[in-house]
Amino acid sequence: MNSTTSLYGIFGNPVGHSLSPVMHNSAFSAVGYNGTYLAFKVIDIGTAVNGIRALGIKGVSVTIPHKVSVIDFLDDVDEQARRIGAVNTVINRDGVLKGYNSDGLGAVKALTEKTVVRDRDVVILGAGGSARAVGFGVISEGARVTIVNRTVEKGERLARELGAEFHPLSDIKKIDAPILINTTSVGMSPHANEIPVKEEMLDMGMVIMDIVYNPVKTRLLKTAEAMGCETIDGVAMLVYQGAFQFELWTGMKAPIDVMKKAVYGEL
Q: CATH number for the domain including 74?
A: 3.40.50.10860
Q: Which domain CATH number covers 204? A: 3.40.50.720
- Are residues 74 and 175 both part of a single domain? no
Looking at the predicted structure, is the pLDDT value of residue 172 above 90? no
* Secondary structure of 143-170 as H, E, C letters: CEEEEEECCHHHHHHHHHHHCCEEEEHH
- Confidence tier at 174 by pLDDT (50, 70, 90): confident
Q: Domain check: are 195 and 249 in the same one? A: no
Residue 80 covered by a domain: yes
Catalytic residue among 58, 67, 109, 260: 67
pLDDT band at 195; cut points 50, 70, 90: very high
Residue 138 falls inside a structural domain: yes
pLDDT digits (tens, 9 = 90+) for 223-236: 999 999 999 999 99
pLDDT of residue 31: 98
Give the structural domain span for 176. Answer: 105-232
pLDDT class of 179 with cuts at 50, 70, 90? very high
User: Are residues 30 and 149 part of one domain?
Assistant: no
Residue 192 domain flag = yes
**What is the mean predicted confidence (pLDDT) over 75-92?**
95
Q: Rounded to whole angstroms, how far apart are CA atoms 133 and 217?
A: 22
Q: Which of 157, 122, 152 is nearest to 137 (CA)?
A: 122
Q: Residue 173 above 90 pLDDT?
A: no
In a domain, residue 1? The reply is no
Mean pLDDT of 209-220: 95
Q: Are 223 and 247 in contact (CB under 8 A)?
A: no
Indicate if the pLDDT at residue 209 is higher than 90.
yes
- Residues 185 and 247 occupy one common structural domain: no
| 146, 209: one domain | yes
Q: What is the pTM of this model?
A: 0.92
Mark whether 67 is an active-site residue. Answer: yes
Q: What is the pLDDT of residue 190?
A: 87
Model confidence at 200, pLDDT cuts 50, 70, 90, reads confident
Do 158 and 183 lie in one domain? The reply is yes
Would 242 be classed as within a structural domain? yes
